Structure 1
Amino acid sequence: MIQPADDNAYTPPSPHTTLLDALSHVSHRDYNQYCENWQADGELDVANEPDDGCGIWQAKYTDLHERRLEQLERLKAGDFKSFVHEDPPTYVSYVCKEDPRHRGSHGCGGLADRMTGMISTFFYALLTNRAYLAYWEPTNPLPLEEVFERPHIDWRFNPEEMRTLFDRQNQSMLSYKSINTLNVKWGAIGRLMFPNGANQDFKQLWNASYVEMQSNRGYIVRTFQESDRYPQMLADMGLTKENTFRCLSDYLFRPTVGSRQFIQAYRQLFQMDSVLSIGLQIRTDDSAMVNPDNDTNTLEKWDYFFHCANELREAKRLPQHKHVVYFLITDSVKLRDEFITLNTDESLARRFLGEAFNETTAVITGLPISHVEAKTVATKYRKDVALDNSHQELLDGVNGAIIENWLLSYTDYRLISRQGFGKLAAFHSQSARTTIGLPKVNKHARIDCSNPHSFITFDTLSTWWSLG
């Protein structure tokens, strides 16, 4: 179904057969429309067009960014006199690099940590009129430009070149500041971003013309909560607590064409009128990825996720929902393989899917399961593990994580483990109160998933893991 990408870019496999299983149960109208809408290029809707609900800030910021890049070329040429009648050019970058003290890549975290750091850094750039730049060290695990396209601005840059240019003592227009918020806690982020309380002006935080950020922590929702200065400014732009993360993310980054093709095949199913789609993101532990032969995860072990999904299904299913889709994302191949037997084993389906078992299809992507920082994760469990993953394996793993996270954000509802990956999808959904968090342990802690009060607010999500 998916054509090979040009220039050796990532090309995913065909969608898993469970997608076709689910499509066989939808309404005739939705099925016919799915087939009519299928495009060979699998393009997603272009982000941030005027009617997409993201406001009016994009064109203004794009102009600013392009002007800052033009100014940067003059700074590189030593042409300081030409800035007499211009505002001083300022820049901020997100940098993810390896920590030489550890084997393999370390410090930036997985996809959720990185996206949270990148989007929050851009949030700061947007509110301070700085050009935004982003960089992943090429071996950590791949260059960022191999993973994402740049739909609106060119954020590529060379960190060493920028540091060399701006880290000077004798030039007033050139100054450099390094900020590191890797793994910091809630209190530390508050003291860093709001040292003067609710009226804090982010422009006054650091006066360096170039600020370099190493971060896997966020403060977007927190700004809406604690700032007296910015909520109205953001509202005037068209940005809210619910849509900001999605809008900024889609403005900056777009999955490459192969990933978009795969995403579109599932997204159209999840958003059909005749389908109720519920995503289940079950984070077991890293050892399931590193040592799959010793994986002990089963449907029985995680049955409380399915119990919750069944309650949610009964509470949210509407008359037009001809069929229900449970979409599973997990780090356990064994659990995923057992999950899809629910489509063929009636006794298991009755046990785990409840009374509506024959109106519910288990769907997966079938993509390789891998952590973005696979080398670091592997060495936590196996000291003898090789650190020479092929480029194709890394490309498959990172893009698989991106695809599954984007897809989780497009389901009607989602049940997530209380860590970063599911939270990222919840933020990207830009839909508050469509996500329920379930514990990783103590599965007997009762959560009534039919109760609307069980849904998590963005305020609560912003206190988890990589904050927000």
Structure 2
Amino acid sequence: MAGCDMSVLKRVLLVLAGLFVFVVLLQLNILDIRVTGNFISKNQDSAIQQFEHRVWNEHLTNLSVYKGGRLLTEDNLENIKAISIEHCRCQRFLVFKCDSSSSCGGLADRQKGIVSSFLLALLTNRTFVVDMTTPCELNNFLLSNIYNWSMCTDFLKTVPKTNFIELKYVNGNTKKFLNQVKSFDFDRNWTKQVVVLRLNAYAIDGIRQHNQARTRLKWLMNITNEEAIHLVLHTLFKPNQRLLKDAVQFYDNKILGRHLVCSHIRIGKNPSIPEDSTRPRGYSNETVIFDFLEKYDDVRKYVIYIASDSEDIKRHAETRFKSYIKISRTIVHVDRLGKLKRFKKEACEGLYTALLEQSILTLCDTLLLTSSGFGTMAAYLRGTSDNLFLFHPKAQRILESNLTNIQTIFKFL
């Protein structure tokens, strides 16, 4: 396309911009950092930025998961990035789409689709865009980090629909697509300027086996799927100020230097989410899980936090454990809103609650999971196998595990 080549100056500016963004907070693994209530406020943007830089430096110094560079570099992204809004017109696109026109799945399903779609964008040399608008705009709470996935959003609205192809792999045809990925001729079949993809599953293995992956995705060849998920989500997203502030205040005001023990307990259909699907018998055993948490019920040393799709579970924990802490927010399944579909503000706050709870799980010193994509994704974002435990639904007992074994035991798509 004439006039679309990047000048040397633009390339230099892009590198400088990337270096600036690199030091911004990505993961909410906030360590023993203290801030006052006055330090973070709506009118102190510069203070927020300084705080984010300080937290990020703390990550680089103290978290082994980041040593050696745990984010994708500008070189990894060179072939798909747009350096300016004007440059968008020169690009081909892969858009991850999630709107109210069809089911997208819950938060973890969407994160799976985003990871897979981003890797497909890299495989096909297409600029990647996230277009998630249900129950509200994703960028209400999550912002672009190393890679700017929203820069070309407005430009895409000007592209003729004849230049679009929309593909949906959410329900029955998902497995067929995943099986085809490794041998699929994308150059021949994806000829439109814009490919819109609705997907809620991992396609990492197929992408890694594709004959173009060794040249276009070299970094993917020698890492695990769990590391790839971690890298992609952290490269794409960072919390907005509200999400960061609430996570900091949670940690600062409630943890107080103690060991944070967390569990995510997925129940399925229950009074809190009546629209959810029914889970098999023994899917989560509250008695076994609570007995495990009992040994941490010492307010001098530990804090217990439980994320769940059931208010009953949280109320039970509050009455049983002295060291239990909570956040008071309404539980919402972002894809099964029921009556909340009529109340956009409340539904949007439900998405925020899900993101906040998942972020809190990434802070945990000890993490116990039941079979759920939501908790599993938090473990991948957390990025370490240290003190990771799984409730095995068949054995009905709790096993100490690692990130790789989550998929083996829970068998997610």
| TM-score greater than 0.5 by the shorter chain | yes
Which position in structure 1 is the counterpart of 2:342?
388
Which runs of 5 or more residues in structure 1 are unaligned?
1-29, 76-88, 100-105, 169-174, 293-299, 345-360, 379-384
Is 1:336 the equivalent of 2:323? Answer: no
The residue correspondences of 1:393-412 to structure 2 (distance < 5 A) are: 393-412=346-365
Letter in 2 for 1:70: E
Counterparts of 1:390 and 1:228 in 2: how far apart (Å)? Answer: 44
**C-alpha contact (below 8 Å) 1:408/1:425 kept by paired residues:** yes
SS of alignment partner, residue 436 of structure 1: strand
**C-alpha contact (below 8 Å) 2:70/2:231 kept by paired residues:** yes
Counterparts of 2:37 and 2:218 in 1: how far apart (Å)? Answer: 35
**C-alpha contact (below 8 Å) 1:406/1:425 kept by paired residues:** yes
**C-alpha contact (below 8 Å) 1:148/1:254 kept by paired residues:** yes
Is 1:251 the equivalent of 2:241? Answer: no
Is 1:143 the equivalent of 2:129? Answer: no
**C-alpha contact (below 8 Å) 1:149/1:255 kept by paired residues:** yes
TM-score, length basis structure 1: 0.63
Which position in structure 1 is the counterpart of 2:100?
98
Which position in structure 2 is the counterpart of 1:436?
389
Which position in structure 2 is the counterpart of 1:13?
none
Counterparts of 2:151 and 2:118 in 1: how far apart (Å)? Answer: 15
Letter in 1 for 2:95: S
Query: Relative to structure 1, is the Cα distance of residues 448 and 64 closer, same or farther in structure 2, using a 3 angstrom cutoff?
Result: closer
Query: Relative to structure 1, is the Cα distance of residues 462 and 305 closer, same or farther in structure 2, using a 3 angstrom cutoff?
Result: closer
Query: Relative to structure 1, is the Cα distance of residues 63 and 191 closer, same or farther in structure 2, using a 3 angstrom cutoff?
Result: closer
Query: Relative to structure 1, is the Cα distance of residues 267 and 456 closer, same or farther in structure 2, using a 3 angstrom cutoff?
Result: farther
Query: Relative to structure 1, is the Cα distance of residues 204 and 249 closer, same or farther in structure 2, using a 3 angstrom cutoff?
Result: farther
The residue correspondences of 1:17-416 to structure 2 (distance < 5 A) are: 34=34, 39-40=39-40, 44=52, 45-46=55-56, 53-55=69-71, 57-58=73-74, 61=77, 64-67=80-83, 69-73=85-89, 89-99=91-101, 106-137=102-133, 140-156=134-150, 162=156, 165=159, 167-168=161-162, 175-184=163-172, 187-195=175-183, 206-220=190-204, 223=207, 226=209, 230=213, 233-235=217-219, 240-267=224-251, 275-290=258-273, 302-309=286-293, 323-344=301-322, 361-375=323-337, 378=338, 385=339, 387-391=341-345, 393-416=346-369
Letter in 1 for 2:34: Y
1:408 Cα shift? 0.9
Query: Relative to structure 1, is the Cα distance of residues 188 and 462 closer, same or farther in structure 2, using a 3 angstrom cutoff?
Result: farther
1:399 Cα shift? 0.7
Letter in 2 for 1:142: C
TM-score, length basis structure 2: 0.70
1:411 Cα shift? 1.2
CA RMSD of aligned residues (A): 4.2
Which position in structure 2 is the counterpart of 1:446?
396
1:163 Cα shift? 7.8
Query: Relative to structure 1, is the Cα distance of residues 303 and 36 closer, same or farther in structure 2, using a 3 angstrom cutoff?
Result: same
Partner deviation per Cα, 1:292-319 (whole Å, 9 max, x = no partner): 9xxxxxxx971111234457x69xx9xx
Counterparts of 2:183 and 2:273 in 1: how far apart (Å)? Answer: 42
Counterparts of 1:57 and 1:462 in 2: how far apart (Å)? Answer: 32
1:335 Cα shift? 2.2
Which structure exhibits the higher relative contact order, with contacts defined as CA atoms closer than 8 Å and separated by 6 or more residues?
Answer: 1
Counterparts of 2:402 and 2:73 in 1: how far apart (Å)? Answer: 34
**C-alpha contact (below 8 Å) 1:111/1:401 kept by paired residues:** yes
Counterparts of 1:37 and 1:236 in 2: how far apart (Å)? Answer: 42
What is the count of residue pairs matched by the alignment?
A: 358
**C-alpha contact (below 8 Å) 1:135/1:157 kept by paired residues:** no
Query: Relative to structure 1, is the Cα distance of residues 96 and 423 closer, same or farther in structure 2, using a 3 angstrom cutoff?
Result: same
Counterparts of 1:251 and 1:429 in 2: how far apart (Å)? Answer: 14
Letter in 1 for 2:365: D
Query: Relative to structure 1, is the Cα distance of residues 271 and 248 closer, same or farther in structure 2, using a 3 angstrom cutoff?
Result: farther
**C-alpha contact (below 8 Å) 2:220/2:228 kept by paired residues:** no
